[in-house]
A and B are shown apart, each in its own frame.
Chain A
Amino acid sequence: MKKMKKLLAVMLALALMAGLAACGGSPAPAPAASTGDAAAPAASAAPAEEPAKALKIGVSLDTIDSDFWVSTIDNMNEAAAAAGAEVVQRLCEGDANKQNQQIEDLIAQGCDAILCGARDGGAIVAAVKKCNEAGVPIIMVSRAVMGDEALPSLQVLVDNISLASGSVEWVAQKAQEEGKKYKAVLLVGSLGDQNALERQQGHKEALEKYPDCFEIVAEIPTDWKVDQAYAGLQNAFEKDPDINLIITPSDAMLTTIQSVLEPLGKWVPASDPNHVRIVTFDGDSTFAKMMEEGYVDCGAVNDTRFMGAESMNWAIKLANGEKPAELNALDPGIVATLDNWSDVKGDIWGYVAYSSK
Chain B
Amino acid sequence: MSLKETFDKKRVAGRLLGSPILLVIIAMAVLSAAFVPNFATLYNLKNLLLQTCDLLIISLGVTFTVLNGGLDFSSTSVLALSSVVGAYIMALSPLKGTGLSILLAIVVMVAIGAAVGAINGFSVVKLKMPSFIVTLSTQLFFSGMAIYFTSKVTDKASIMGLPSAFYRIGGEKAFFLPIVIAAAVFLVSHWLMTRTIFGRHVLLVGTNPKSCHISGINVKRVVFLLFLLSGIYAGAASVVLTARNQAGISSLGDKMFIDIMSSIIIGGTSIFGGSGGAKHTLYGVIFITMLSNVMNLLGMDWYVLSLVKGFIVIIAALADILSNRRKNYAAAAA
Q: Mark A residues whose CB is within 8 Å of B.
A: 1-2, 4-6, 8-9, 11-13, 15-17, 19-21, 23-27, 88-91, 93-98, 100-102, 104-110, 119-123, 125-126, 129, 134, 146-147, 149, 191-194, 197, 201
Q: Mark B residues whose CB is within 8 Å of A.
A: 17-18, 20-21, 23-24, 27-28, 31-32, 35-38, 41, 43-44, 47, 51, 54, 147, 150-151, 155-161, 170, 172, 241, 244-256, 292-302, 304, 308, 311-312, 315, 319, 322-323, 326
CA distance A24 to B270 in the complex (A): 33
Contact of B47 among A15, A105, A191 (CB under 8 A): A105
Sample (9) of A-B pairs whose CB atoms are under 8 Å apart:
A4-B323, A16-B31, A93-B302, A95-B256, A96-B158, A97-B252, A104-B47, A129-B172, A191-B157
B17 to chain A, nearest CB (A): 6
Taking a contact as CB atoms under 8 Å apart, the answer to whether B157 and A102 are in contact is: no
Taking a contact as CB atoms under 8 Å apart, the answer to whether B247 and A12 are in contact is: no
- Chain B residues within an 8 Å CB radius of A109: 37-38, 296-297, 299
- Chain A residues within an 8 Å CB radius of B312: 12, 15
CA distance A278 to B20 in the complex (A): 59
Interface centre among A134, A192, A201, by most B CB within 10 Å? Answer: A192
- Chain A residues within an 8 Å CB radius of B17: 2, 5-6, 9
6 smallest A-B Cβ distances: which pairs?
A9-B20, A122-B158, A108-B44, A105-B296, A122-B247, A27-B299
Taking a contact as CB atoms under 8 Å apart, the answer to whether B23 and A13 are in contact is: yes
Q: A12-B24, A95-B255 are contacts. A4–B322 as well, Cβ < 8 Å?
A: yes
B164 to chain A, nearest CB (A): 9
Taking a contact as CB atoms under 8 Å apart, the answer to whether B43 and A108 are in contact is: yes
Taking a contact as CB atoms under 8 Å apart, the answer to whether A108 and B38 are in contact is: yes
Q: A24-B36, A93-B302 are contacts. A192–B245 as well, Cβ < 8 Å?
A: no
CA distance A16 to B300 in the complex (A): 14
Q: A16-B28, A20-B32, A105-B297 are contacts. A126–B247 as well, Cβ < 8 Å?
A: yes
Taking a contact as CB atoms under 8 Å apart, the answer to whether A97 and B256 are in contact is: yes
Q: A26-B37, A27-B299, A110-B38 are contacts. A122–B159 as well, Cβ < 8 Å?
A: yes
- Chain A residues within an 8 Å CB radius of B323: 1, 4
- Chain B residues within an 8 Å CB radius of A104: 47, 51
Please give 6 more A-B residue pairs, beta carbons under 8 A apart, in addition to A13-B28, A108-B41. A8-B20, A9-B21, A20-B32, A96-B252, A104-B47, A120-B247
Taking a contact as CB atoms under 8 Å apart, the answer to whether B244 and A97 are in contact is: yes
Contact of B156 among A5, A134, A194 (CB under 8 A): A194
- Chain B residues within an 8 Å CB radius of A106: 296
CA distance A25 to B300 in the complex (A): 10
- Chain B residues within an 8 Å CB radius of A19: 308
- Chain A residues within an 8 Å CB radius of B249: 96-97, 120, 122-123, 192
- Chain A residues within an 8 Å CB radius of B41: 108
Taking a contact as CB atoms under 8 Å apart, the answer to whether A93 and B255 are in contact is: yes
B147 nearest in chain A by CB position: A191
A110 nearest in chain B by CB position: B38
Taking a contact as CB atoms under 8 Å apart, the answer to whether B31 and A17 are in contact is: yes
Contact of A126 among B244, B255, B315, B319 (CB under 8 A): B244
Taking a contact as CB atoms under 8 Å apart, the answer to whether B160 and A149 are in contact is: yes
Taking a contact as CB atoms under 8 Å apart, the answer to whether A91 and B160 are in contact is: no
A95 nearest in chain B by CB position: B255
Taking a contact as CB atoms under 8 Å apart, the answer to whether A192 and B251 are in contact is: yes
